[in-house]
Amino acid sequence: MFYSVCLDQGHGWFDPQIKRKIVFKNIRRQKPIYEVEYETFSGSNGSREVNSAYRPFMLMFEIDIFFDNEHERELMDIELSKLFFINKPYYIRYDLAPGLRFLVNPVELDVIETDSSYQTYSIGLNVFRGYAESIASSLEDFSLESTWQFSQGLASENYSYTHDTSRFIIFNAGDFTVDPREHDLRIKVEGESDGQLNIFNRTTGERFIYHPEFSTRRGDWIELDGVYPKRNGVNRGIDTNHALIRLVPGINDIELQNISRVRSEWDFRFLYK
């Protein structure tokens, strides 16, 4: 069976398939690989877990190319190699998992069958981060007709990621903690503060503090862009307690303290096994 596959190599999504020339089939995704390290103690039963992580996994599929002569076959063979081996990671998505994207590096591209008018390849792509990402971010519409699917942990509650109150829930529908040291996470806060703005995740106990006063009426806003605290788009880590806010899977109970007329946005992608 043939499938729709798209790549994003830094310039937006595109479909590399050419009608009656290049088609993708037999897509297979390796199951999650969960590795655990243990330590044992003399005189104690069993072992104790000390570290655990999900390992990289493979996306594997087959490609058919169709040609009229051996010269065209050779040219298409060269172009296929150029398509996948670009000397940097890139994203791939496919229609069996329409709401997900995978950051990959190519591992192998092998010919497995040759005929007078077509040639079949097997390609393996290493999902080296060990997880898939939602194509849409939390600030985009939750439409199951486009970039979301039923397996993505979307709850029946109407969770929002834009708030004009100081106490609210941020729901992480993924399987992994969103950590700004490793993942995209942008938190923007507007309002009126006399100083000591606190962004407090009651679920994790993590607290970010911005010390100076600021006023959105004067055009100010505060942003946590990954690990970089910013005021009006300019890095101001020196004015903070140098803390970070993570979002664990499920409910994150958030409170913004020492601020009035508050508005906040929480923009991130969900991560899946």
| pLDDT digit string (tens) for the chain, length 273 residues | 788 999 999 999 999 988 778 999 999 999 989 999 999 888 888 888 888 899 999 999 999 999 999 999 999 999 999 999 999 999 999 999 989 999 999 999 999 999 999 999 999 999 999 999 999 999 987 554 455 554 545 554 678 999 999 999 999 999 999 999 999 999 999 999 999 999 999 999 999 999 999 999 999 999 999 999 999 999 999 999 999 999 999 999 999 999 999 999 999 999 999
Q: How far is CA 230 from the centre of its chain?
A: 23
Q: What residues contact residue 12 under an 8 Å CB cut-off, 6+ apart?
A: none
Taking the C-alpha atoms of residue 130 and residue 271, their distance in angstroms, rounded to an integer, is 10
Pair 214, 247 in one domain: yes
Q: What CA–CA distance (Å, rounded) separates 40 from 51?
A: 13
Task: Give the per-residue pLDDT at 259.
Answer: 98
35 and 159 part of one domain: no
135 assigned to some structural domain:
no
Shared-domain flag, residues 147 and 27: no
SS3 (DSSP) at 111: strand
pTM comes to 0.88
Do 120 and 42 share a domain, yes or no?
A: yes
Domain boundary among 66, 98, 130: 130
**DSSP 8-state code for residue 77:** H
Q: What is the spatial distance between Cα 5 and Cα 16, in angstroms, rounded to a whole number?
A: 7
Same domain for 117 and 35: yes
Residue 98, domain member (yes or no) = yes
Contact of 226 with 234, CB cutoff 8 Å: no
Residue 267 and residue 150 share a domain: yes
Look at residue 44 and tell me if it is in a domain: yes
Report the distance separating Cα 226 and Cα 207, nearest Å: 15
User: Domain range spanning residue 203?
Assistant: 140-272
Q: How far apart are CA 105 and CA 103, in angstroms?
A: 7
Q: Specify whether 152 is located in the same domain as 247.
A: yes
Q: What is the DSSP letter of 41?
A: -
Number of domains observed in the structure of the chain: 2
